[in-house]
């Protein structure tokens, strides 16, 4: 096979921070390469995120060279050979070549080495097993180049063994396929994931959350999630029924409105029919407080937004605020099963751009002057008045406001005489 090179404009060529790290750690008997996702993305023409670096140099030597060059080093995972070098405020993880001598699920007993082939063979997928030297030449020891060309996500070596080493690789298989794969998932990998699904129960909620939220916003999320559902994998992850139809509809709704994919919004479409579902999923995946609150809000009586008129929509927007209104509306759209056409949903989704809710104009003084004493009763009257103001479609004219205040006080006094 002819030599394959990465494009010349990748971040680690030239004189940038990544190139400085490679120059620092190459030479004097050591070799250093860029590995993993950065190589994959460079070859696929996809924006490059983190740049991971592998080296034959032992961790102590990495630290020594960094110190001599005035570069900060952080022993982020030194027991497993990883040192983070900080250059121009950018972190680069540098890991000494290694091979697993024993594995215990996610735990592994490692030995440092100098064999690039063995180092590649211990990684998860072939498209993540490529490396690039300082000259830009791609080294492929696991068949990753062919799989990149075919847009195929395939485990390195025996898929069952790779999964047994870390059951999170089941989710990573579908997430990486959703982001980089084409057509159906690799059959051997798919069957191995089904065979290993019992191991999902051993994973922490935090790790499940991280992979699921990444998967849900990948370009190919719809197909990947459907494949996971067909394989019986989602129940072990979210602990309940999942809804692939509404999930697909949510993706279509986001695209129709030109919205950036939102993981929590998509999670709601996939898992939430009622607020009890939201609470279960939030606990199961240990979502952040903000994520749990958003999921719960979307699940709260979303069906009330399926038959609104403009006046009722304004009331919902006023009560919920723009973000919660939009997300709950979109869950209603996703779960509506075609009850309304897309124009209906677009019309109400555009309401925040067409109408701004005014502030409630009545104040405590308006009711104190009408004989309501300060205290809990005053707060109750203000709530009743606000309800009446919303029902009257947000009037601002003094006469209308006075009438609402008078009617509220009359109602309050009547109810409290009974």
Q: HSE (CB half, 13 Å, CA atoms) of 299?
A: 24
Write the pLDDT tens digit of every residue in 119-141.
999 999 999 999 999 899 999 99
Kindly tell me if the per-residue pLDDT of 216 is higher than 60: yes
pLDDT at 1: 55
Question: CB of 206 within 8 A of CB of 177?
Answer: no
Please compute the mean of the pLDDT values over residues 157-186 and round it to a whole number: 96
What's this model's pTM, rounded to 2 decimal places? 0.89
Q: According to the model, what pLDDT value does residue 358 have? A: 94
Contact of 108 with 86, CB cutoff 8 Å: no
Please state the rounded mean pLDDT for residues 37-45.
95
Q: Give 362-403 as a DSSP string.
A: --HHHHHTTTPPSSHHHHHHHHHHHHHHHHTT----HHHHHH
- pLDDT given at position 109: 64
Structure-derived torsion over alpha carbons of residues 117, 123, 127, 128, reported in degrees to the nearest 10: -100
The tokens for 44 are: 């696929």
pLDDT category at 71 given cuts 50, 70, 90 is very high
Q: Indicate the domain borders of the chain.
A: 1-150, 239-357, 364-417
Tell me the pLDDT of the chain averaged across its residues: 93
pLDDT score, position 79: 82
pLDDT of residue 338: 76
Confidence of residue 208 (pLDDT cuts 50, 70, 90): very high
For residue 393, pLDDT over 60 is answered with yes
Per-residue pLDDT, 91: 95
* Structural tokens at position 63: 């630290």
Contact 244, 232 (CB under 8 A): no
pLDDT at site 415? 82
Q: What is the pLDDT of residue 110?
A: 65
pLDDT digits (tens, 9 = 90+) for 332-376: 999 998 778 889 999 999 999 999 999 999 999 999 999 999 999
Strand partners, 33: 54
Q: Are 51 and 36 contacting, i.e. CB atoms less than 8 angstroms apart?
A: no
Cβ atoms of 153 and 182 closer than 8 Å: no
What is the phi/psi pair of residue 81, to 5°?
90, 15
Output 339 or 213, whichever has higher pLDDT. Answer: 213
Question: Of 4, 2, 46, whose CA–CA distance to 131 is shortest?
Answer: 4
**What is the token pair recorded at 266?**
């998509």
* pLDDT of 196 higher than 90: yes
Burial of 56 by CB count in 10 Å (0-12 exposed, 13-18 middle, 19+ buried)?
Answer: buried
90-117 pLDDT, tens digit per residue, is 999 999 998 766 655 545 566 898 999 9
Confidence class for position 418, pLDDT limits 50, 70, 90: very low
- Give the helix/strand (H/E) hosting 85: strand 82-87
Helices 376-391 & 398-417 angle (0-180, nearest 10): 130
Higher-pLDDT residue of 307 and 151 is 151
Q: What is the pLDDT of residues 235-260, one digit of tens each?
A: 999 999 999 999 999 999 999 999 99
CA dist., res. 263 & res. 395, Å (int) = 38
Tell me: pLDDT of 14 over 50: yes
Terminal CA-CA length for the chain: 92
Residue-level pLDDT at 98: 87
CATH superfamily, region 1-150: Beta Polymerase, domain 2 (3.30.460.10)
Q: Are 24 and 49 in contact (CB under 8 A)?
A: no
User: Backbone dihedral region of 109: left (phi > 0), alpha (psi from -120 to 50 degrees) or beta?
Assistant: beta
Question: pLDDT > 70: what percent of the chain?
Answer: 96
């Amino acid at each position: 096979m002819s030599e394959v090179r990465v494009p010349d404009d990748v971040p680690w060529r030239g004189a940038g921070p990544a190139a400085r790290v490679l120059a620092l750690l190459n030479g004097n008997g050591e070799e250093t390469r860029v590995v993993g996702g950065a190589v994959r993305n460079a070859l696929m023409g996809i924006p490059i995120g983190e740049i991971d670096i592998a080296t034959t140099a032992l961790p102590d030597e990495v630290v020594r060279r960094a110190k001599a060059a005035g570069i900060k080093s952080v022993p982020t995972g030194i027991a497993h050979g990883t040192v983070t070098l900080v250059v121009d405020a950018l972190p680069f993880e540098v890991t000494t070549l290694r091979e697993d001598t024993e594995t215990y699920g996610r735990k592994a007993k490692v030995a440092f080495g100098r064999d690039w082939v063995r180092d590649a063979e211990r990684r998860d997928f072939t498209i993540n097993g490529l490396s690039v030297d300082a000259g830009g030449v791609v080294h492929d020891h696991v068949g990753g180049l062919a799989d990149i060309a075919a847009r195929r996500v395939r485990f390195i070596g025996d898929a069952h063994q790779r999964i047994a080493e870390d059951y999170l690789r089941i989710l990573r298989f579908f997430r990486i396929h959703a982001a980089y794969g084409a057509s159906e998932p690799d059959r051997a990998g798919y069957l191995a994931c089904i065979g290993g699904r019992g191991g999902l129960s051993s994973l922490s909620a935090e790790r499940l959350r991280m992979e699921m939220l990444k998967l849900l916003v990948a370009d190919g999320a719809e197909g990947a999630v459907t494949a996971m559902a067909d394989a019986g994998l989602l129940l072990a992850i979210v602990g309940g029924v999942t809804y692939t139809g509404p999930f697909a509809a949510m993706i279509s709704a986001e695209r129709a409105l030109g919205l950036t994919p939102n993981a929590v919004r998509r999670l709601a479409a996939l898992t939430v029919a009622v607020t009890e579902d939201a609470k279960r999923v939030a606990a199961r995946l240990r979502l952040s407080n903000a994520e749990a609150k958003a999921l719960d809000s979307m699940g709260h009586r979303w069906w009330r937004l399926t038959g609104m008129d403009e006046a009722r929509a304004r009331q919902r927007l006023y009560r919920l605020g723009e973000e919660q209104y939009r997300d709950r509306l979109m869950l209603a759209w996703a779960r509506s099963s075609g009850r309304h056409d897309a124009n209906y949903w677009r019309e109400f989704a555009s309401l925040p751009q067409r109408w701004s809710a005014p502030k409630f104009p009545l104040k405590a003084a308006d009711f104190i002057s009408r004989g309501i004493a300060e205290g809990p009763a005053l707060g109750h009257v203000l709530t009743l008045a606000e309800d009446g103001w919303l029902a009257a479609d947000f009037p601002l004219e003094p006469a209308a406001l006075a009438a609402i205040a008078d009617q509220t006080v009359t109602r309050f006094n009547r109810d409290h005489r009974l």
